A and B are shown apart, each in its own frame.
Chain A
C-alpha cells in the first residue's frame, strides 16, 4: 500500500528551524514504521536521520512521536499507523538532527537515582543470594525497562520542568527499591523525595500509555511515593 510519511527534518548545519518533509513509500501493512524509514533512507533520501538497532522492540533506540504518540518505530506496524504517518522527535529533549535527540540529559537523570544494586554485605560463597518467587515478582515489571525515553518524553511534568527526574529514572529506582537483595532504598527514596523527584508526577498516565514494554509506570511511581511516605512516618 502507498504510505505517506510526513517527517520533521532539521539539520543543524543548514536549517534555522525544523520543517516537515513528505515521502511516499510502497509498503505492506505488516511492515514496521522503521521499514518505512529504512526504505526512504535507502532509496530516496540518505540524509534522513534516526537511530535504530535491534528492529524488534528490545534495544530502545528508535523511540519517536508517531502520529503524535510516543512509540518505537520498530514496534508499530503500518496497518496500525495508517496510510498517512507523521514522525517527529521525542518532545522535551534537544534535537540533534531530524529524529535524533540528545539523550545525555536522560541518562544523567537515570544515573542520579543510583540504578545499581547496593548491598555491602558479602554475598554467600559458592551460591546465589536467595530470593523467593514472590520477592522476585515484586519488582519484575520494572526490570523490563529498555531506557528508550518514550515515557519521559511523553510526560507533561517533564515538558514543563526538565529538571524533573522523569518516569524512566523512577522506574529504574523502583526496580532496586523493591528488590529484597538491595539495601539502598533509603538513599534512593531521599533523592526522589527532593523537589525534582517523584512528587512532580501528576498521574497523567502518558508514560504508561507510551511504554513499549507495557510497564505500569504510573503504578510504579505511586508505589515509590507511598514508600517515601511510609518510611518517613515510621
Chain B
C-alpha cells in the first residue's frame, strides 16, 4: 500500500520537475508553434510538414515589450570596441562566466480604472497597440482597411483606422480596382479589355493589334498565329521572302534546321507551308511526337568539363581564396564558341548579366565570404548557395539555349562559395520551357514570397540542405539537379524520400 502511494507521489514529483525544466514562458504562447509537429520529427533535421514559407500571421505570436530592461548601452558595443579588435562588451564578459538567466516575464495586465500611479506600468499586449496616458488605456493600432464595393477583392481606396470603417471595407485587398462597381473588371481580368488582332485576308495572321473592350470592327479577331507580312494575300503570312524550308531527320514533325530559299535547298528539306512543323526539335536523332528528349547525362557532361583545361582554369580563379574574399561577386559566362567572358558586379554586390545573352550557354559565379567593414564594424554576409534569382537564371539559360539552338548539354548555372563549387542543371520537361510556362515559372521563382521563403530556408540551413528544401518544399520543383564539383569528380546531391541528403558520386 505504501509503495503505491510512493509511486504516485514520485510520479507527480517527476512530472512537476519535468514541466518546470522547460524554463519556458508558457504565458507567451500556446501550441501555435507546432511543438507537436517537430517533437514527432524523426527526420533529424526538419519536420515532415509542408514547408509553407514564412508565417507572418499564422503560427506567429507578436507582442510589444515596452517595459523590458534597457540594454541599449550594451548595444553600443562600438564604444568598447570601435574597430572590432575583439574587446568584449560587458555583456559578452558576463556570458563567459555564466549563461544569461532565463527570464520569465509576468503576464502583462491593464488596470481596470485609470490610476496615474499604476498607469505608468501599463503594457499593451495587442500587437502595435499604444498607451493613451490620458485615459490610461490601450489604443488599438491603426491598420489599412480596403474599400471593395463590388466584392472582387480589389479595392477602390483604403484608409487607416483602428476599427473597421462603415461600408464595404475589408482588412485585405489584392490591388487597386479599375472599376469597383463591376466585379468582372479588375486587374486580374485586364479590366475587361481584350487584345484584338487585325486579319484582313483571313489567314489567321495579323497586321495590327489593339486592346479594346469590344471588337473594333470587321476583320478583327481574338487569336493570332503571328504577324502577317502581307495582309492582302492569304498565301503570304509568316514569311514573304523566299520560301521557308526545314529538315526533320527523325520525321517526328519537329524541325532541326530552318532556312529561306527560292528553291528546295536539297535532299531532306521540306517546304514549310506544305507541312508546317510543330516547332524546334530537342533531339533530331530520336523521334518524339511530344518533343520529349531523353535526359542528358549530366555526369558525363561534367566529366568532359573537368577534362577541359579552360574550364579548370576558370574554376580555379573562382575558387581562389582571394576571389572569395572580395566584397562583390565575380564570374564568367561562356558563349557558344567556348569562350569564357568575365562578369563584373553591377555597381552593388551582385554580378551583372551581359546585355546580350543570345550566345550564352552557361555562367559560373562567386557568392563571396562574409566580410567586416573595419571602419563601421558592419558584418556583410552572403548566402553561400544559389539564390532564387540564380535558379530563375537556370531556367533562363535553358530557355535561351533552346531558343537559339545552343548546346543544351553545356547549359547550366555554376556557383562557388566557401562551401565549394556547385552546378545546377535543368532536368525538367521541355514543356516547362515553352514561352508561356517559362514566364510563369520565372515570375514565381523571383516573387517576393519566394525570396522570403528562401531566406527562411537559409536561416534554418544555409547549406545544401537549405537549397534542396527550398526547391522541394517552396518551389515544389524537381526540374533542377544539383552537383558538387570537385577536381577529382562530381557528385549528385539530392534529398531522398526521408528528406535526408543523398550523395551519389558520378562514375
Do these two chains really belong together in a complex? no
